Amino acid sequence: MTFYYPNRSNDFWRMMGLVFLNDRDALWDGEHNRFDLAAIKQLLSEHHIALWDTGMAVRRLKDNASDKFLEIVEPIDLAALLASHPSITHVGATGEKAASIVAAQAGVTTPATGIPTRCRIGAHELTLHRLPSTSRAYPLALEKKAESYRRFFADALRQETVG
Question: Mean pLDDT across the stretch 69-86?
Answer: 90
Contacts of 45 (CB under 8 A, 6+ apart): none
Average per-residue pLDDT for the chain: 91
Question: Mean pLDDT across the stretch 102-122?
Answer: 95
Tell me the three state secondary structure of residue 143.
Answer: helix
Residue 23 has pLDDT above 90, yes or no: yes
Rounded to two decimals, the pTM is: 0.88
| Cα-based torsion angle of the residue sequence 77, 44, 9, 75 in order, rounded to the nearest 10 degrees | 0
CA angle 35, 128, 5 (to 5 degrees): 15
Residue 141 has pLDDT above 60, yes or no: yes
Long-range contact set of residues 70-79: C-beta below 8 Å, sequence gap at least 24: 70/97, 72/97, 72/101, 75/101, 75/104, 75/105, 76/52, 76/101, 78/102, 78/105, 78/106, 78/121, 78/122, 79/105, 79/121, 79/122, 79/124
42 compared with 65, residue with greater pLDDT: 42
Tell me the three state secondary structure of residue 79.
Answer: helix
What pLDDT, on a 0 to 100 scale, did the predictor assign at position 163? 40
In percent, the amount of the chain with pLDDT more than 90 equals 74
Considering only CA atoms, which of 90, 81, 22 is closest in space to residue 56? Answer: 81
Residue 160 has pLDDT above 70, yes or no: no
Distance CA 78, CA 103 (A): 11
Which of the 8 DSSP states describes residue 35? E
